[in-house]
A and B are shown apart, each in its own frame.
Chain A
Amino acid sequence: MNAVKQVFGTDFRQFTMVFALVALLLGFHLASGGKMLTPGNMQNLIAGNAYVLILAIGMVMVIVIGHIDLSVGSVAGFVGMCVALSARDLHFPWWAALLAGLVIGALIGCWHGFWLAKIGIPGFITTLAGMMLFRGGVIWISGSVSVPVPPELNVLGAGYLPEWGPAWTYLNNSTLLLGILAIALYAWSQISTYRRRVADGETGLSFAAVIIRVVLVGAVLAYVTFLFGSGRPGTSFPVPGVILVALVIIYHVITQRTTFGRHIYAVGGNKQAAALSGVSVDKVYFLVMVNMSFLAALAGILFVARATSAGPSDGNMWELDAIAAVFIGGAAVSGGIGTVTATMIGGLVMATLNSGLFLMGVGQDKTQVIKGLVLLAAVAFDVYNKQQGRPSISGRLFGDRTKSETTAEPVQIAPTTPGATGQ
C-alpha cells in the first residue's frame, strides 16, 4: 500500500477518477469492437469537447467561490455570433474579429462581476439574467439565421498541427515533438521536486518511486502521442486540444500557485475569514466572473470556428455540461473545493461516455439518462464519503483508512465499547 502511495501520491480521489476514466476508455474500446481508441475517434473527442472543457476551467473557479454561472452557453453563442457578424458586416479581418470577440467576452464578465461583486446579487440570479439576456441578444443580432465565420479561424476549431521532417517516424512529427516535450517536462519536474525536497531535509522519500512514476506516466504519454500522431496523414493532436492543454497548465498554475488562486479558495471556504485576513472578496468575485465570460467567449469562438458558421442556438445548454464536469470532478456545491485538473478529468469522463455510447449505437435519449445517473452517482459518492469521514472509494479499495480517519476526528477521545468499560 505504501509503495502505491509513494508512486501515485496521496490524492486518492483524483487517482480514482483517472482510474475510472481509463477503465471507461478501455471498456468502450472492447465493447465497441475496437472503435474507441483509434486516432480518428480520439482526435474527434478532443476537438469536439475542447469548448466544454474550456468552459469547465472557468466554471470550477466560479463554483469554488461558491457561485455558479448559468450564462456561459448564451455568452459563448453571443460572442461567436459577434465574431461572425463583425467579419461579415463590419469587414473586420479574422484576427480583429477574434480579438473583438474576446474583448466582448471580458466586458460581459465585467457586467456579471458588477452585479455580483458591487451590488451583491447572487451569481445564480445574475447569470440567470445573463443567460436570458445573451440568448435573446444572439437571436436578435443574427435575425435567427446562421452567419458564416472567416475560414481562417477554422484552424483554431478543427485544425491540425503541420506535417514536417522525416517520414520514417510514421507519426505526425509535430505531435511527436509535443509528446517528447511533455515527457521530458514531466520527468524534469518530478525529479527536480524530489531533489528539492531531499535538499530541504525531508526523509522517507523513495527515488525509485519517482522513477516508477515517471516511467508509468511517460508510457501513458507515449501511448497518447502514438494514438494522436498515427492518424491518417495530415492529422495530429488537434489544435483546439493544444489550446486546451495550454489553458489547463496556465489555470492550474494560477489556481494552485498564485496569490489570486489562493484567495479564490479562501473566499470560497470562508468568506468572512478571508476578508478578515485582508483578502478583497469583491475583487476576487469580480475577476472570477470576468475570467469566466472571457473563457466562454473563447469557447464560443472555437466552436463557431469548427462549425464554420455561427448559429442562433449555439451554446444551448453548454453551461450544464460544464457544471456537470466540475461536480463529477469533485467540487463542492458550498464552495471552497475543486481543482482544474480534476474538473478536466470529470469533463473527459462525460465526453468519453458521449463518444463511447454513440459508438455502441446508444441513442441520445439513453445517453442523457446515463449521464444524469453518472453525475448523481459521482456526487452521491462524494457526499457519502464525506459523511463517513473517508476520503474516497480508493481509500477503501486499498484498505488504508487509518490516516483519513485519524485526521477526520482528531480531537475525539478514542471510543470505548460498552463491554470494555464499566461493567
Chain B
Amino acid sequence: MRDPHAILEMRTITKLFPGVRALDDVTMTVRRGDIHAICGENGAGKSTLMKVLSGVYPHGTYSGSILFESEEMAFKDIKSSESVGIVIIHQELALIPELSVEDNIFLGNEIVAKGLIDRRTLRRRSLDLLARVGLDVDPGTQIKTLGVGQQQLVEIAKALAKNVKILILDEPTSALNEDDSANLLTLMKGLKAKGITSIMISHKLNEIAEVSDAVTVIRDGRTVETYDVEAGQVDEDRIIRAMVGRSLDNRYPDHEPNTGGEVILEVQGWTVEHPTVPGKLVCKDESFVARRGEIVGFAGLMGAGRTELARSLFGRSYGVHKSGQIFLHGAPVELKTVREAIRHRLAYVSEDRKLLGLNLLDSIKDTIVSANLRAVVRRGLIDDAMERTVAERYRKSLRIKTPGIDVGVATLSGGNQQKVVLAKWLFPEPDVLILDEPTRGIDVGAKFEIYRLIQDLADQGKAVIVISSELPEVLGICDRIYTICEGRISGEVPRSEADQETLMRMMTTTVGSAA
C-alpha cells in the first residue's frame, strides 16, 4: 500500500468549522520530486487542506494524520512545518511593501549574530537566492517598487531560504500576466529538477496541463480522484468533470448572437490621462459602439487599459478626461459624475467586488437598493417595505442563494455576492451595463448562471459590455469583440470569425507602432 517514493502522505484528514465540514476524510499522497496539482472549485477545501498541512490550523484542530518522510507530524504553527521544510506561499503574498527584498526573504527567519541582524550574510545569501529564482534586482530595493511577478519570485526565494523540501503554491499565477506566469512555471520545473517537490493549487487547467506530474481533484471537502499525468498531456475535460461532479459539455450556455440592433452607446476619440502621472495616457483615441441586445466583449491583457476605459466612461471615475465624446441613443452627453452616468442609465460592475463593488458590512437588502436609493424613498424617508419588495424581487429573479435578504453580503459565496452586485446595478434599470471581469473568483457552476443572466439582460434589450481576460469566456458569450492593447482599441471581430489565436495576436499588437 505504501508508496516508497512518497515524501508526504495525508490520511483521512477531517476538519470541521462551526456548521461546516470543510474537509471530509481527505487522503492524498505526494511523490518526491513531483509537481502535484490540486484542483477544485472555490470552497472545495483546497486551501483548508494546505493550511492543515502547513500548520496554520495546528495539530489537534483536525483529525487524521500527516506523514512527512514516513514520520508522523504534529505541526503546532507555521514555524514548525517550515522547520521540516514544508513552506506555503499564500495567494495573497506575505510580503511587507516597505521592507527591502532581502529583509522580506529572511522575515521570520532572520540571520542573527550576537543579537544583531548580520547584514553581510543576509546580503550574500539574498544575492544567491535571487540568482536561483532568476530575479535580477538589488536586494536592498523596497518590495513595493517591484511588479507582482517579481514579488512572486521573492516569495519563492523566501521559501528557498528555509531549505524547502515541499513548496506549496496557492494559486501562484492568479495575479500574474502571461509572461510572468510562464516564467513562474519554468522556474517550478527548474526547482523540480533540483529535487524540490511542489504542490500547486490552481484553477488554470492549461497551467496544470503544462507542468504537473499528478493531479488530485477535491470536491465538497472530499478527494474525488488522484491520478498521475504526463506533463503536456492532461485531459482538461476529465478534471472539469471531476471538479463540478457533472459533465459540462458546454461551459457556456447557447445564445443566438444579436448584432443588428440600434446603437445605444457610441464613444468617439476617447482619450484619458493617468490620474497621477501627467502625460501618461491610459486611453488613446478609442472609439466603439454597443448596440441594443448585444453582448460586446473587451479583451485585453492585464494593464492594457480596459478597466481604465470603463471607469473613465462611467462618470469619469478614473483618470483625467482629455478628449472624446459619448453618445447615448445618438445624442451627445457629458457624464462628469457617477450620478450623471447612472441617471443616463449606465451601470458599471467593478472587477474588484470586495473593494469597489460591495460594502461588506451591509446586508443584501441594503446593497441591492444602494445605487438607486431615490427609488425607495417616500416622503423623504427610506421606505423599508419598498426596499424589501425590491430586494426580494431580485433575490428570486437572480436566484441568490441566501437564508434571507437581511443577511450580510460578507457571508455569501463569491457567485452569490456577484449576483447581489448585479442586482444592485440592475435596480437603476440601465440601458448599458459594463461588467468588468464578471466571473472573477467564481466557481465553474456559478459562472454558468452568471453567463445565462448576461444573455437574459441582452435579450431584454440592454447593451452589455463584458470586460474579460479569459479568452474562452469572451469567445463563449460575446457577440462581438474589441481587443485592447496599451490603451488603444487594436481590433474588432464578430464572434463567428474569432478564435483564441487571432484574439491573442490582436491583444498583443501595438497599434501605430513604427512597423
Interface positions of A (Cβ within 8 A of B): 196, 200, 253, 257-259, 262-263, 265-266, 268-270, 272-274, 276-279, 336-337, 387-389, 407-413, 415-418, 421-423
Contact = CB atoms under 8 A, between A and B. Distances in A.
B271 interface: yes
Contacts, number: 116
A387 B119 CA distance: 31
Interface residues of B, number: 51
Contacts of B94: 270, 272-274, 276-277
B128 to A, nearest CB: 13
A37 B277 CA distance: 44
30 contacts: A253-B116, A257-B116, A263-B108, A265-B98, A268-B98, A269-B96, A269-B97, A269-B99, A270-B95, A270-B97, A274-B94, A274-B96, A274-B107, A277-B78, A277-B107, A277-B109, A278-B79, A278-B82, A410-B150, A411-B147, A411-B148, A411-B303, A412-B303, A413-B303, A415-B277, A415-B280, A416-B281, A421-B513, A422-B284, A423-B512
A196 B123 CA distance: 12
Interface string B390-420: 0000000000000000000000000000000
A259 B512 contact: no
B107 A409 contact: no
Contacts of B225: none
A422 B512 contact: yes
Interface string B138-182: 000110011111100000001000000000000000000000000
Given A276-B78, A415-B281, A337 B108 contact: no
Contact of B98 (A258, A259, A269, A410): A269
A389 B276 contact: yes
A196 B122 CA distance: 14
B508 to A, nearest CB: 12
Contacts of A337: 98
Contact of B145 (A265, A270, A410): A410
B117 A200 contact: no
Interface string B474-515: 000000000000101000000000000000000000011100
Contacts of A262: 99, 103, 107, 110, 117
Contacts of B281: 415-418
Contacts of A265: 96, 98-99, 103
A278 B97 contact: no
Contacts of B92: 272-273
Given A278-B77, A417-B279, A422-B488, 9 more contacts: A200-B123, A258-B117, A262-B99, A265-B103, A278-B79, A411-B149, A413-B303, A418-B284, A421-B513
A249 to B, nearest CB: 13
A281 to B, nearest CB: 11
Interface of B: 56, 77-79, 82, 90, 92-99, 103, 107-110, 112, 115-117, 119-120, 123-124, 141-142, 145-150, 158, 271, 274, 276-277, 279-281, 284-285, 303, 486, 488, 511-513
Contacts of B93: 273
Contact of A413 (B99, B108, B271, B486): B486
Contacts of B511: 421-422
A263 to B, nearest CB: 8
A266 B96 contact: yes
B279 A415 contact: yes
The 3 closest A-B pairs by CB, nearest first: A422-B512, A278-B108, A411-B147
B146 A410 contact: yes
Nearest to A338: B98
B116 A279 contact: no
A387 B110 contact: no
Contacts of A253: 116
B146 to A, nearest CB: 6
Most chain B beta carbons < 10 A, residue from A268, A279, A388, A389? A279
Contacts of A415: 274, 277, 279-281
Nearest to B97: A269
A410 B124 CA distance: 24
A227 to B, nearest CB: 33
B96 A200 contact: no
A266 B271 contact: no
A259 B114 CA distance: 12
Nearest to A406: B145
Given A387-B276, A389-B277, A408-B145, A421 B108 contact: no
Contacts of B95: 270, 273
Given A277-B107, A278-B78, A407-B141, A270 B277 contact: no
Contact of A270 (B96, B112, B119, B279): B96
Contacts of A258: 112, 115-117
Contact of B110 (A259, A417, A421, A423): A259
Contacts of B108: 263, 266, 274, 277-279
Contacts of A387: 276
Contacts of A410: 145-147, 150
A258 B111 CA distance: 10
B318 to A, nearest CB: 15
Contacts of A273: 92-96
Most chain B beta carbons < 10 A, residue from A272, A389, A411, A413? A411
A332 to B, nearest CB: 8
A409 B280 CA distance: 12
A249 B485 CA distance: 53
A273 B93 CA distance: 7
B109 A278 contact: yes
B273 to A, nearest CB: 10
A408 to B, nearest CB: 7
Nearest to A197: B120
Nearest to B147: A411
A337 B97 CA distance: 10
Nearest to A404: B145
A337 B142 CA distance: 12
B108 to A, nearest CB: 3
A337 B77 CA distance: 28
Contacts of A272: 92, 94
Nearest to B510: A421
Contact of A196 (B117, B120, B158, B284): B120
A272 B94 CA distance: 7
B246 to A, nearest CB: 35
A363 B513 CA distance: 65
A258 B99 CA distance: 14
A407 B82 CA distance: 32
Contacts of B147: 410-411
Contacts of B271: 418
A404 to B, nearest CB: 9
B171 to A, nearest CB: 15
A266 B488 contact: no
B145 A407 contact: yes
A144 to B, nearest CB: 45
B253 to A, nearest CB: 36
A52 to B, nearest CB: 26
B99 A266 contact: yes
Nearest to B158: A277
A311 to B, nearest CB: 40
Contacts of A422: 284-285, 488, 511-512
Contacts of A416: 281, 486
Contacts of B110: 259, 262
